[in-house]
Amino acid sequence: MSAVQRNAFWSEREWPLNRKDWIFFGCAIEALGPLLCSEWSGEEFGRPKLGPPPKLVTTAPEPGPTLSGTGRGPEANWKAGRDSAGGANRAATAALLASLEARAEAENERLSELYRPLDERATKVSRAVVQAFLDEELAAGYMDNRTGDIVPVPPSWWAAEDCSARFDWGKIDRLNPVRAGGWKEPKDPSWLFVASAKLTTFIEARSASEDWRPEIHAPAKDWCKRAAVQTAARARLRRGGRTNPTNADVAREVAAMWVIDGRKPVKWESFRDYMSAP
């Protein structure tokens, strides 16, 4: 009975299309996640968000006249019965509500602990991405809601106290870009994009330092899960013109990389299944 709110941005993925020189923010994060965090699973930003346990409010019903033979008149009997039974009902209701709220809090604590690794990885990646924007290693832009044009965003817009809403919604509040904000849709939202040229350079520069080639006796199902392997596959695809490769594209490229050193071929579907397995 926890207040779980599903993030429709990541679960429903109703995203705008990429442009020639701009990659939508959500697509960029999917490419950057494995590069910046070796344990990246892809579920970090899309997992359900937990709100406070719901406050349960109800009222106890008033009983009818129940006391008879007390030597008092009908009206006095009715009032005495109401006060006596009503007090008992209120006490029982209060105890029930306290029990339900305690169970809700316990469930929230359980889910928070369950999601803790996802939250830690999301924080690690989001901080690295924000720093890259501040250092001008990456460049962002927002889509003008009237014209549809992409307007470059100055690096200073990433100096906000809390940029988490941008990762939760893929949007930026262009009228108040440095305000603090948590998991709440911006009041004046505009879709965020990342300059594709800088994104490619950023990925390739970090991929070059990672050795993706498999060891002699490395099992294919373990090798393909390495972040360096998947990052290198995406970089190779982008160099070939695939600016937004799908998971199937990555699996096919990983299959091609596997046989570079003369290893026995493995079906790309197998790599796809290996990489999606927990």
Q: For residue 196, what are its two tokens?
A: 């594709």
Please tell me the number of Cα atoms within 13 Å of 24 on its side-chain side.
Answer: 18
The more confidently predicted of residues 147 and 89 is 147
Q: For residue 193, what are its two tokens?
A: 């994009």
DSSP 3-state assignment of 191? Answer: strand
In the block, tokens 């990672």 appear at: 210
The arithmetic mean of pLDDT across residues 23-46, rounded, is 86
DSSP 3-state assignment of 143? Answer: strand
pLDDT surpasses 80 at 238: no
Residue 183 β-bridge partners: none
Q: pLDDT per residue over 63-100, tens digit each?
A: 444 444 455 555 565 555 555 555 667 777 777 777 77
The predicted pLDDT at position 107 comes to 67
At 86, the amino acid letter reads: G
**Residue extents of the structural domains in the chain:** 210-278
DSSP 3-state assignment of 150? Answer: strand
The predicted pLDDT at position 92 comes to 74
CB 174 within 8 A of CB 137: no
Q: For the whole prediction, is pTM greater than 0.75?
A: no
* Separation CA 124–CA 117 (nearest Å): 11
Q: Give which of 234, 258, 228 is closest to 246, Cα–Cα.
A: 234
